[in-house]
Amino acid sequence: MVSRYFQEADPARIATEYPVGEAFLNGPAKLSQDTLRALQEERFGAVMQRAWQVPFYKRRWSAAGIEPGDIKGLDDLAKLPSFSKTDLMESVDAYPPFGDYHGRDDEFPHAVFHTTSGTTGTPQPLFFGPFDREVQNALLARGYLLQGMRRGDVVHSVYGYGMVNGGHYVREAVAHFTEAMYVPAGTGRDTPTVQQVEAMQRYGATAIVGFADYIKRLAEAVVEAGLKPGVDIPLRMISGHIGQEDKQAISDAWGGAAVYDWYGVGDTGVIAAEGPAQNGLYIWEDAQILEILDAETGAVLPDGHAGDMCATCLFKTGVYPIIRFDTKDVSTVLPPDPASGIKFRRIPGFQGRSDNMVKLRGINVYPTAIGAMLDPHPATTGEYYCRLTRAGARDELTVVTEVREQGSALQADLSALLKRGLGVEVLVELAAPGATAPATQVETRQKPIRLIDERD
């Protein structure tokens, strides 16, 4: 017996409703504001209808005094309470082992199961129905194709596998919706770094996908192996979670390869991706509603203001519908770029995490943003972590950064550099190349540890 997965996934419907490649550029990318809004309203109505059947939403919305019919459209979206991973994990604790947010039942029994990486705590169960899983895959492929992935590319992937969603999801996107060949190398734990370099040379990698931290580490390993990036390994394209990293530094490390950013989380899939102009990530507004929330009040902020990205998926009408998921990732909504021909709004990318923010003397400091400040300095390797301690009633942040040389003058120079960038003074501790790896676990984790809280 063949599973009903492929029948329920409905590839023909996906190609029509969430097209990729030229069909995207000639279709959803050109929608007028009014036509796009009408499409969003239609899809939002279907998601709301499904969400009222899911105990998690019914329980939370009823507690907030909301009844079916109160939410008549997207103008009422902000009346619904947002939720975060904390709420999902509370659901898991109350209704073990999977929580009550997935909505699996006799009508929707099929689900792809993975978990989050557990970077910010216990891994969270993730569920995907056949249709929404393949829509997520198509939307990621839409980004890759826009960035220049093409037939015959050899795509070296350094996303993790195991129970984590990342690598499996990216593999499906490339295999199902592009004509490139996917090489599932994984993290340094899956395939040791030296072997990854050998594989990239042997198979002729032309693209690499993954998190920026390990992509940079691989470039160093190529040089350590006596090879020349861009020559011995003809890399043309890098696509991953770049955030505030120095794109030019990554490109230079790989012999001039083009570097592209995209953003998404395990629950929602890809939300936005960069295009050829590399001047912001286009929000896939035919598939996602993205609000920006004040991290303290939860109020919706106008475009142009930084805050928590809160996503509503317009295609998840089966398993685990998502309405107002507060990612706690910080960014800013920007207007469309008329020159691109894509009428969707944009974000500059990942700008930090509000739940990983450190407040020093009234200044908000995002540890994940510090790497972009250190990268351009020629003495640094780009690897670092932050140690948060308390001295009396005052919090102190020490940035432990790897450098190629030592000295008090360099320490003072980096301290001044970070003070200018952060707006507040932090302590700097110099470390030898490779010395921070045990703390950051950069060789084995998809997302290296950047903050260690040592406060009592």
Q: Looking at residue 115, which CATH number applies to its domain?
A: 3.40.50.12780
Q: How many helices (H) and strands (E) does the chain have?
A: 14, 19
Which residues have a Cβ under 8 Å from the Cβ of 379 and sit 6 or more positions away?
Answer: 403, 404, 405, 410, 414
Which of 351, 373, 395 delimits the end of a domain? 351
135 close to 315: Cβ distance less than 8 angstroms: yes
Are residues 345 and 363 located together in one domain of the fold? Answer: no
Residues 306 and 396 in one domain: no
The total number of structural domains that make up the chain: 2
Q: Do 342 and 437 fall into the same domain?
A: no
**Residues 232, 198 share a domain:** yes
CATH number of the domain that residue 394 is part of = 3.30.300.30
pTM score: 0.87
Residue 25's contacts (CB-CB under 8 Å, 6 or more residues apart) are 146, 341, 342
Rounded distance, CA 410 to CA 67, Å?
61
Q: Are residues 412 and 429 in the same domain?
A: yes
Q: What is the pLDDT along the chain (456 residues), one digit of tens a residue?
A: 568 898 999 999 999 999 999 999 999 999 999 999 999 999 999 999 999 999 999 999 999 999 999 999 999 999 999 999 999 999 999 999 999 999 998 788 888 999 987 765 688 999 999 999 999 999 999 999 999 999 999 999 999 999 999 899 999 999 999 999 999 999 898 999 999 999 999 999 999 999 998 999 999 999 999 999 989 999 999 999 998 788 998 999 999 999 999 999 999 999 999 999 999 999 999 999 999 999 989 999 999 999 999 999 999 999 999 999 999 999 999 999 999 999 999 999 998 888 888 888 878 888 888 988 898 899 998 899 999 998 877 899 999 999 998 888 999 999 999 999 998 999 999 999 999 999 999 888 877 889 999 987
CA 230 vs. chain centroid, Å, equals: 26
Final residue before a domain boundary, out of 297, 321, 351: 351
Domain extent for 376? 357-453
Residue 243 sits in the same domain as residue 225 = yes
Same domain as 444, residue 325: no
Boundary (domain end) residue, out of 329, 351, 373:
351
Q: Are residues 299 and 362 in the same domain?
A: no
- The tokens 């190529």 sit on which residue? 222
